[in-house]
């Protein structure tokens, strides 16, 4: 039986993610855990996250989750980051006056701004909340069975811009273009919430459970 560790650092929709994984494949074992040994023993690792990045990073470092994440990424096992779990992998976030993140990938997390407008000069609300289309920037096993420009569910006020364009797997636009999916070796990470994104999101989670960690 495949075992998935959903890293628990007290900041995320842990049980909704776990239930969604169990829904798409009842034969997997999903462990919501902060136990380093259980994370190491898992076949796949998922880093969720919601809330302010300052609080998330404080708990990640206090609990030693930073070391768990680094070890999981370097192990080569499939790794999925969701929402703040994606942002936390970057170098730096503008949120909360500026916060250093894990630095696993070169990138910056930027604020959408208070005067965000669309192409018709209409004011856009921040946070970006609701459904939006995601464009596939490159082919990847986690996009299998998901049409380009499918809609996914977002809740965020800050967005990622990756420094390495070859790592961008998906993009979106909300006043500004931004990166919503990262793919590099055994790591895939997304800004949207697949567990809230109905069929497309469930398909992505199903793809993660069958992915061998190779692009």
What residues act catalytically?
Answer: 83, 193, 195
3-state secondary structure of 46: strand
φ/ψ (deg, to 5) at 131: -90, 140
Rounded Cα–Cα distance for residues 79 and 72 (Å): 7
Q: Looking up tokens 């909300």, which residue turns up? A: 174
Helix axes 65-75, 53-62, angle to 10 degrees: 80
Instruction: Quote the tokens at residue 118.
Output: 């669309």
């Amino acid at each position: 039986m495949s075992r998935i560790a959903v890293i628990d650092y007290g900041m995320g929709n842990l049980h909704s993610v776990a239930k969604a994984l169990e829904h798409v494949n009842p034969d997997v074992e999903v462990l919501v855990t902060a136990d380093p040994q259980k994370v190491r023993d898992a076949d796949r690792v998922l880093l969720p996250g919601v809330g302010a990045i300052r609080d998330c990073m404080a708990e990640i470092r206090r609990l030693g989750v930073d070391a768990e994440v680094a070890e999981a990424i370097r192990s080569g096992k499939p790794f999925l980051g969701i929402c703040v779990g994606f942002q936390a992998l970057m170098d730096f976030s503008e949120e909360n006056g500026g916060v250093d993140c894990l630095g696993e990938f070169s990138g910056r997390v930027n604020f959408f701004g208070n005067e965000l407008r669309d192409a018709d000069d209409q004011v856009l609300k921040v946070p970006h909340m609701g459904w939006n289309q995601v464009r596939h920037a490159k082919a990847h096993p986690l996009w299998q069975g998901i049409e380009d420009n499918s809609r996914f569910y977002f809740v965020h006020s800050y967005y990622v811009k990756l420094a390495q364009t070859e790592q961008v797997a998906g993009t979106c636009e909300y006043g500004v273009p931004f990166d919503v999916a990262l793919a590099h070796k055994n790591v895939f990470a997304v800004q949207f919430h697949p567990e809230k994104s109905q069929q497309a999101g469930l398909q992505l989670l199903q793809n993660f459970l069958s992915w061998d960690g190779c692009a």
